[in-house]
Amino acid sequence: MNILQTMQNLIRTSFTTPKSIYTGIHSTFAEGHFFSIDGIPLAHMPVNWAPDEPNNVDGNENCTILHPNGTLADVNCGYVHPFICFKKRTDDMAEMNECGTIDREYQYNNVTGSCYKFHIIARNWQRAFKTCSAEGGYLAIVNSPEEAELFKTMHLENLRRTTTQNVNNRISFLGFRFWQELGAWVTIHGQTLKEAGYDHWAGGEPNNVKNADNLYEGEYCGSIDAGCKKVGLNDFWCKYENPFICEKQPVVVESSSQSSSSTSGPTTVSYIDFSVANTIVPRNYDEY
Ligand SMILES: [Ca+2]
Ligand SMILES: [Ca+2]
Ligand SMILES: [Ca+2]
């Protein structure tokens, strides 16, 4: 089965009604010259354009979608479509680890019982949220003082490797923000900070700083300040770019009465299940 048929099969099996999906074929570098993201010209690929495509509507269609019938159309890269991730199988390919991912940067912590990945490349809060979600995790939530200390340690260990536009390089974004309608800080899982298990703010925070040039509104996004002697939460500008931490639940079969027949320890989740789970969320093309 070739890759086109495989993609069509995934479209058939992933949705109740077939949808068009983004492909890695684009003309971002030169208008009208379509290449795959690994540099293969479209002419070398076994795929045809849909009728009347490519039509480059408004001179602004540099991305492509694959229709369920296997034909291609150019579209605006800002549109939201589902997509499939592809990774070639190699001999040294990582096995699915106890964090339920082949990403070795996710490490299990036996104090908190969660898995974490520290992202050294700074992103704004919204992009950080989406990155963690695409990795099958979520922007990390502090559930205990021990976890707050752990995040501080992770930040300080990675301090020299981080990229940030922030003069304060002690900030990591976390999964909570100010919910205007509620007038309260809530986690991305819908709990108040107290309900989540940790509501200690760093000294003088939250202070909702408005910066001088008004480029950024108030500080509505959650972060942790690793620079404080006593670690604590901090409110920060959502559009500013900071390192961030993703959290993920480990994949472990509970050895409880409900699952007496199963053995405890990490389970094996097939790679395809994981990738499909992460492909059916529509996104626009340039978010990654
Ligand atoms: Ca088009
Ligand atoms: Ca947590
Ligand atoms: Ca602040």
pLDDT tens column, 18-43: 999 999 999 999 988 999 999 999 99
Find the 175 Cα to ligand 2 centroid distance in Å. 9
Compute the distance between CA of residue 138 and CA of residue 249 in angstroms, rounded to an integer: 9
Asked if 45 and 165 sit in the same domain, the reply is no
pLDDT at 190: 94
Find the 53 Cα to ligand 1 centroid distance in Å. 5
Read off the pTM: 0.74
Are the beta carbons of 253 and 84 closer than 8 angstroms?
A: no
Asked if 44 and 172 sit in the same domain, the reply is no
Residues around ligand 1, an ion, CB closer than 5 A: 53, 55, 61, 73-74
Find the 254 Cα to ligand 3 centroid distance in Å. 40
Q: Between residues 232 and 211, which one has the greater pLDDT?
A: 232
Find the 147 Cα to ligand 2 centroid distance in Å. 7
- Collapsing DSSP to helix, strand or coil, 43 comes out as helix
Backbone angles phi, psi at 55, to 5 degrees: -115, 0
Structure tokens at 271: 């790679």
Asked if 8 and 115 sit in the same domain, the reply is no
Compute the distance between CA of residue 182 and CA of residue 229 in angstroms, rounded to an integer: 31
Q: How far is the CA of 259 from the CAs of 65, 264, 265, 269, 270, in angstroms?
A: 43, 9, 12, 17, 20
**Residue 204 lies in domain:** 107-248
Question: For residue 66, is it within any domain?
Answer: yes
> In this structure, what DSSP letter does residue 92 have?
T
Find the 268 Cα to ligand 2 centroid distance in Å. 23
Backbone angles phi, psi at 146, to 5 degrees: -65, -40
pLDDT tens column, 274-288: 333 334 445 555 554
Question: For residue 94, is it within any domain?
Answer: no
Q: Between residues 228 and 101, which one has the greater pLDDT?
A: 101
Are the beta carbons of 150 and 112 closer than 8 angstroms?
A: yes
Question: For residue 214, is it within any domain?
Answer: yes
Question: For residue 258, is it within any domain?
Answer: no
> In this structure, what DSSP letter does residue 42 have?
G
Structure tokens at 184: 């309260």
Question: For residue 155, is it within any domain?
Answer: yes
